[in-house]
Chain A
Amino acid sequence: DTAVSQTPKYLVTQMGNDKSIKCEQNLGHDTMYWYKQDSKKFLKIMFSYNNKELIINETVPNRFSPKSPDKAHLNLHINSLELGDSAVYFCASSRPGQGNTEAFFGQGTRLTVV
């Protein structure tokens, strides 16, 4: 069983469209995250949810809206897609609050906006 799974793996769409990426974790973690890796390979956190509550929002445009229906799922909805949104998006989960905990990442969703 994959610990953190996200779908789809690849997403090609036109500018202006609205799209969603889904993420699920079966590790029983309370906290889930979305990270973005741009074309220069820099990985940066976008959002974090703890028990369905938003706890981190790293100045991401409000076209990006995370939604957590329960603590095992954190979906990312993007409105009015722009060329600059093209990137690889990674979902992750962990049990923070203790420095010795590790995060688990999904395989990534490569979003290409044309």
Chain B
Amino acid sequence: DAKTTQPNSMESNEEEPVHLPCNHSTISGTDYIHWYRQLPSQGPEYVIHGLTSNVNNRMASLAIAEDRKSSTLILHRATLRDAAVYYCILYYSSNTGKLIFGQGTTLQVKP
């Protein structure tokens, strides 16, 4: 299983942009890059995913490096509610749906 590497923790100020990095140097051509987050005392929730091109949705943006060996989740304006653990996960297009969670990045948002 290809692995991802993320910083253990990051801090941000409220209403400022946040860039959460993820390295996945062993990514294969069929791996999608998925991001999930887990708010305190809740189950993980899907944030965004991409394959090769940058992606935007109402929650965040995903910037994928040209060689696909790294990606960055961008929260355009962090709110206190965005304080969570963010997981970068490689998802195989033909697998059983299993998600392999790493340690993730714990994001603190300061008012």
Contacts and interface: CB of A to CB of B under 8 A. Distances in A.
Nearest to B30: A99
Contacts, number: 68
B97 A101 contact: yes
B92 A99 contact: yes
A104 B46 contact: yes
Interface in B29-85: 30-32, 34, 36, 38, 41-46, 49, 51, 85
A45 B98 contact: yes
Contact of B99 (A41, A100, A103): A103
A103 B85 contact: no
Interface residues of A, number: 30
Nearest to B38: A43
A96 B45 contact: no
Contacts of A100: 32, 49, 51
Contacts of A104: 46
Interface of A: 4, 31, 33, 35, 41-45, 48, 50, 55-56, 90, 92, 94-108
